[in-house]
Structure 1
Amino acid sequence: MPPTLGALLRTPHLRLRLLAGQDRVHRQVEWVAVSELGDPTPYLAGGELVLTTGVRWVERLPDLRAYVRRLAERDVAGLGFGAAVNFEQTPGELRAAAEEFGVALLEVDRRTPFIAVGKEVSRLLAKEEYEGLNRAFNAQRELTRAALTGASAVVDRLARELGGWVLLLAPDGSVRHAAPAAAADRAPGLAAELSRLRGAGPRSSVSVASRDDRVSVQPLSTGRRPRGFLAVGGVRVSGSEDRTLVNAAVSLLSLELERPSPGRVGLLRAGVLSALLDGALDPLHPGASGLRAVLPAEPVVVAVAEGAQPEGPLPEGALVTEHEGRTVLLTAAVTGESVFGEVLDGPVGLSAPVGYPDLAAARAQAERARTAAAEDGSALQRFDLLPGGLLGLLDTPEGARLADDLLAPIDDQRGAPELLASLRAYLAASGRWDAAAERLGVHRHTLRYRMRRIRELLPGDLDDPDHRTELWIALRVREGRS
């Protein structure tokens, strides 16, 4: 939400004073427009705080009533007049016109440059955007965590985040789950809309008025045939964050309803594992205690197989998903090796034990082990039992020299161990500040400072994946020598 005039008036360093329009201080300021034109309205979109010093009014005072009327018709947020610049005080005609046409009139102190007002509005807009994105990220994360429990938990969490009511409906329109429970009474009134959606295709949606409420209904399906419907009401889903949250819920519920059999691993849990592998969920985040409670305790291992997902029981706490064309299983490192052969179709590749920040690396290890198992005809191959590998090829005097040359700019600095540890944590966390800082046990601002120094020291671009890979290999080669 953009800042209001009231918020600007309450900002001490701006030194703004309200002269007219006390009932307009709630108006949101979309932007600040500085203009000395006699009629700036052709260049306004509405919602601006217009600032002027009246420099063109000195020789001949214009029709200020007509000037303010045009601003009111353009629906500006307000008008700010720079006092003691070209006029000793704000013209009385301007104040009278503002009162007449209901335009908020602010007096800007001589000591306050107009650019300071613009910067403050920009700062508040950026702050609001950041907070909105942060709220959306946290809400989606909570929604995904709820997916570990089941479809009903997703519906409950969505209703809580939106502050409205949510219905999960079966293909025939009956209520699977309602949040709150009283919302189930609204289902019969949506029957006609569900009939329209059944024939409109899986990507369709409808918005209808029901009981003085605006209701959004979307089908839940990963194919052509709807497996159910999601209805949201009691709130105006207009912001991009709300729409993104609803779309995320539709995707999660569509996956769950596609595979409702209780004997199989729910696709919601599979979606959580995919999010972990892609780095979209961070189990080490301070607010992730609920997620950690249902995940295998560290260290964990990743197993990769080419066959279909297992139909039978998995090890307690294990997660399984189809990821990039493979079946991927995550479980505690203490799981017996024989279990993987029982639940996965070979050949199976097994990673070395890792922590959650290194899941992406473990996925690559398991894939390499699976390839080795397929080549030698074995049912299962462990990565930590493979000979050498790529890092093994680099474990030579020449490889060590190349690694030292690459990291030399950091080695030459005071505090080199902290910088190298920060670089490794940053690369291992795929550039995610919170996860890397948590792993190091430092504040994220400390990590940002160190990474800024590293960027200045290294000749390559840290955003270049090739350079990042070289740095990662150099660090791993050093670890192998220590």
Structure 2
Amino acid sequence: MPSDPERSFPATGPLALQNSGRITLRRLRETLGPLVLDSVCIPRGDEVPVGQPVVQGLYEPVPPQPGGLLLLAGGAVDDGTLEAIRQAGQAGYCAVVLKARGADLAAAAAGAQEAGVALCTIPDDMPWRHFDALATAATGAVEPSADSYASVGMGDLFALANVIAYQVGGAITIEDPHGHVLAHSSLPHQEIDDIRRKAILGRLTPHRPGNSDEYQRVIRADGPVWFDIPEPDHTNRLAIAVRAGSQLLGLLWALDGAPALGEGAAAAIVEAAKVTALHLLRARTHRDPDRWRRAEVLAALLDGGVGGHTAAAQLGLATDARTVVVAFAQATPEDTPGLAGARTVDLVNLYCEAWHPQALCVAAGGTVYALLPVRADAGALARAVKFAENVCDTVRRNTGLTLHGGVSMTGDVLDHVPACRRTADRVLRALAADADSPRVAALEEVRSRVTLLELLERGSPATDLAPGPVQRIIAHDARTASTYTESLLAYLDAFGEAVPAAARLSVHENTLRYRVRRIQKLFGLDLDDPDTRLATWLQLRLHDLSTRT
């Protein structure tokens, strides 16, 4: 605990999120993500400090708020917008945020450039109140006026984190059991390290070797746990599990850096854990039941267990809502680390919240499904693909996991959601079947492979037919370790052109021609017949896919 509470401390932490605007525009954009806050022009650079958000309607005088974030709610981009941008520049605002609604923003960008204020946009579908809440949380809570827990409103976790930081003497994060940062302190005299900085920006503790073991040590311990860390960019830590009886609610982490924790830090964090349990229980009472209920309904809807009419009211959607299902799965077959897997669900949830108030996700097995309400326009699928790409990028940065994302077609009503889920699953499977595939795809990009996989699932040769040439070729390769199957498929893939097929196999074209003649002779295969060529290629292709999936 600091020895002199009246001492004036310098603001040393680059993420000290005070009203003075310690967070920069760049970090605000990184924290919220490109799907939430996009920049049109930044005349003073993106390292300018950001203050608190101010919601303002068009044609209303812009109030003074140096360094503020002006949320310009209103209609179309017109002269009123240009005037508001001019006034924001005069009042010293950091940035003006508006919704483009398909308008040309060239004039607004020119006005912002002249006014010296950044111009940013948010999605047209995002309610202003939702963005205001996200921006307010990102820019942080003010330092508490007293060191008493009684000064903290129930459920105000950011203010609570500041009081705990004051009592314990080091920068604090309040996390859920999966490493999701629920709140963090922002006292200006308490420094943070790079790990803490990344956790605040990504709202998740970054995955690193030994991370899961540290969490398990804290969870199993009856009291505080000290971590002496020799790495220069990683500060020592004091941690404790937050429980209500035997129920694990979360964890508290305190940095033992600058300033160093005092002798009473362990006792102070024990008391802090008791107070935090009350706040987390209150927060869970208000938020978690609704989230879990909606997730359970979504899981049932995806499986076809409930109809669209039944699910509509519980999901807050109309029965004729247009939606897209995006499925995420790990690109490699290794087991997903528990903590990293939980982070993936948390990140998808965060992106869903940014997409639309009624968007949500649920994990089923090794797949995470996101249900995205979309507008009835030609760009809906492209935006969903961009959503999936951003999720994959963020998960990769925060957890080290590589995901594939499968985007379904658009469902016109909620009753189409199960079919959309099946389509997203097939797209995922098509991506997994080809090592050269992109990370994310919509159905049209991999339709041919999806069709082949459908044939592989549904179709098989009649059981009363004797094995044909293709089955005999495959069996011959299995017995003799020959490569007739691979050679013939490459030849047919190349439309009978020996040169590109031989290059793919890394053999001479004359060698390949000899093999093909040999195959035709040994197995009675007439490749001059178009039906035989089609049937042979299809069977070989399906066999190849079956060995990859």
Question: Which one has a bigger Cα radius of gyration?
Answer: 1
**Greater RCO (CA < 8 Å, at least 6 residues apart):** 2
